[in-house]
Amino acid sequence: PPTADDGPRPDPLDVLGTVFGYDSFRGEQAEIIRTVVDGGDALVLMPTGGGKSLCYQIPALVRPGTGVVVSPLIALMQDQVDALSALGVRAGFLNSTQDPDQRRAVERDLLAGELDLLYLAPERLRVPATVELLDRARIALFAIDEAHCVSQWGHDFRPDYLELSMLHERWPDVPRIALTATATAQTRAEIATRLQLEDARQFVASFDRPNIQYRIVPKASARSQLLDLLRTEHAGDSGIVYCLSRASVEQTAAFLTAEGIPALPYHAGLDRRVRAANQSRFLREDGLVMVATIAFGMGIDKPDVRFVAHLDLPKSVEGYYQETGRAGRDGLPSTAWLAYGLQDVVQQRRMIDTSEGDAAHRRRLGAHLDAMLALCETVTCRRVQMLAYFGQDGQACGNCDTCLTPPESWDGTVPAQKLLSTVVRLERERGQRYGAGHLVDILLGKQTPRITQLGHTSLSTFGLGADLSEGEWRGVVRQLLAQGLLAVDGDGYGTLRVTEESGAVLRGEREVRLRREPERAARVRSRGSR
Ligand code: ADP
Ligand code: ZN
């Protein structure tokens, strides 16, 4: 690799070719690299697969000294260092997985000026010895990877990241580059403030991923819907299936395997070695399905992931975008598929209500969920909606489910009134606990044992909703929850309550527009349509 003394500096484009074997820069890479090579600070937003790594790796090779990369992805450091070593780049890392001997060897290389890149876990910088070590080394730049982790508003906050403003205070002359694949305008502003990067040049790449087809379907029986998707459209493909709980990860992986689809589980409760083995099989073998909690995926660079399926509702649009962004990094058509239902909304609202942290924290979680629900219930292009969330313009993509089969909306005011007034009547019966299922049974006029026992056949709304099917009613409940016209109690039963906004509906002062439930999860087949 080019050795960088104080002599003439190698040309970034030459380094791109000789070290990395590519012949041209992508997007704004050249401009970003030039900024950092010249000693300036940069804040880079680029979607997953956009090519963020080269934005600090090349300046580290061009500038004299070692490029120090702060990253929370400890599990990936060894892989990253191996990959760089294979290219002839001198790289090392310091994190908690090493023994003192290994650590000393890296420190020796650093001080001898024999490292181009040093990966560092953020908590290392809390150790005075590390700071003193860096004081004695020659530092080419600081790269702060996954910079959104500094944002308390964001979805992936890591307290250690708050300390990173010390980089600027301690080494004011060293250029810094912060990178992330996910940030709303608000998060971006927070990154800039907290890392003291207000004066940094900002590079915001388009977040559009045109080769990904986004589809969000009503959940009926999620696993068989998933099986259907894999059999009809993704036979033999590599993909990731996200589930909320470890138990559901295990069950889904076993289910797929039993159905003849090779699948592996991945979650934080598995033995570390099992996890590592499953991850490396997924990366190396073809046609494996990784069933995982969101613990899986950050920093995973597998280009041919053909689908990302969510069996449960993600907690935020940022999370959803990042998880689905692992599909199609090679630019070929890929599917992002999410099955979402009433129970998801109930469960997540309940989790927020009972979550630890203060009221402001719960409000933040609630706002994240609301944005995610708005994306699910939108009647316009999913992609436009998502880009707008990240503060970017877009045009209807013609490829997502809502573009291909525009959902109709209908006037759901009367059903909403029936439902809300049933809730109000039940609320008067103090101490009653019942979920959405019981409400729907009342509206449908079902004489279940529970309804008879509680005397709910005498409610004035009993049987008043026979004009809609059970599925349609569940859709109404789900959408009222999504629109904030219903709330879930934190009582552990998912008891529904009216909200302040419901009043206007009940008084007939507010119309309720609902999205028509697609006929039995109308399948979108459009692979060839572009
Ligand atoms: P990110 O960190 O933004 O998710 P990476 O830095 O891992 O993306 O890059 C994604 C892939 O694109 C990698 O395989 C990388 O080698 C490749 N890549 C990046 N820049 C270029 C380029 N200018 N030309 C060709 N391939 C590139
Ligand atoms: Zn669209």
- Provide φ and ψ at 421, rounded to 5°: -70, -30
Q: What is the pLDDT along the chain (530 residues), one digit of tens a residue?
A: 444 456 778 999 999 999 999 999 999 999 999 999 999 999 999 987 789 999 999 999 999 999 999 998 887 888 889 999 999 999 999 988 899 999 999 999 999 999 999 999 999 999 999 999 999 999 999 999 999 999 887 778 898 999 999 999 999 999 999 999 887 888 899 999 999 999 999 999 988 999 999 999 999 899 999 999 999 999 999 999 999 999 999 999 999 999 999 999 999 999 999 999 999 999 999 999 999 999 898 778 799 999 999 999 999 998 999 999 999 988 899 999 999 998 999 889 888 888 888 888 888 888 889 889 999 998 889 999 999 888 888 889 999 999 999 988 899 999 999 999 999 998 887 667 788 889 999 999 999 999 999 899 999 999 999 999 998 998 899 889 888 898 887 666 778 889 999 999 999 999 999 988 765 433 333 333 33
Q: What's the rounded Cα separation, in Å, for the pair 3 and 63?
A: 9
Q: What's the rounded Cα separation, in Å, for the pair 75 and 279?
A: 11
Q: Would you put residue 63 in left (φ > 0), alpha (ψ -120 to 50) or beta?
A: beta
> ipTM greater than 0.90, yes or no?
yes
Distance of CA 407 from the midpoint of ligand 1 (Å): 37
- Asked if residue 50 has its Cβ within 6 Å of ligand 1, the reply is yes
**What tokens appear for 421 in the block?**
């007034």
- Asked if residue 46 has its Cβ within 6 Å of ligand 1, the reply is yes
The pLDDT value given to residue 5: 55
Q: What's the rounded Cα separation, in Å, for the pair 485 and 38?
A: 54
Q: Give the helix/strand (H/E) hosting 140.
A: strand 139-144
The pLDDT value given to residue 194: 94
Q: What's the rounded Cα separation, in Å, for the pair 250 and 311?
A: 13
Give the distance from CA 197 to its chain's centroid.
Answer: 24
Distance of CA 437 from the midpoint of ligand 1 (Å): 49
- Asked if residue 49 has its Cβ within 6 Å of ligand 1, the reply is yes
Classify burial at 112, counting beta carbons within 10 Å of its beta carbon; exposed 0-12, middle 13-18, buried 19 or more.
exposed
pTM of this structure = 0.79
Q: What's the rounded Cα separation, in Å, for the pair 175 and 178?
A: 10
Give the ranges where 177-307 is alpha helix by DSSP (H): 185-194, 222-233, 246-258, 272-284
Closest ligand to the CA of 526:
2
Q: Would you put residue 356 in left (φ > 0), alpha (ψ -120 to 50) or beta?
A: beta
- Asked if residue 48 has its Cβ within 6 Å of ligand 1, the reply is yes
Which residues, including other chains, have CB under 8 Å from residue 48's CB and lie 6 or more apart? 181, 322, 325, 326, 329
Q: What's the rounded Cα separation, in Å, for the pair 259 and 291?
A: 14
Residues paired with 263 in a beta bridge: 289
**What tokens appear for 202 in the block?**
């900002």
Closest ligand to the CA of 380:
2
Q: What's the rounded Cα separation, in Å, for the pair 461 and 444?
A: 9
Which residues, including other chains, have CB under 8 Å from residue 146's CB and lie 6 or more apart? 71, 72, 73, 156, 179, 180, 298
Residue minimizing CA distance to atom 20 of ligand 1: 51
The pLDDT value given to residue 522: 39
> Given ligand 1 and candidates 58, 204, 301, which is best to mutate, with the most ligand atoms within 8 Å of its CB?
301
Residue minimizing CA distance to atom 17 of ligand 1: 51
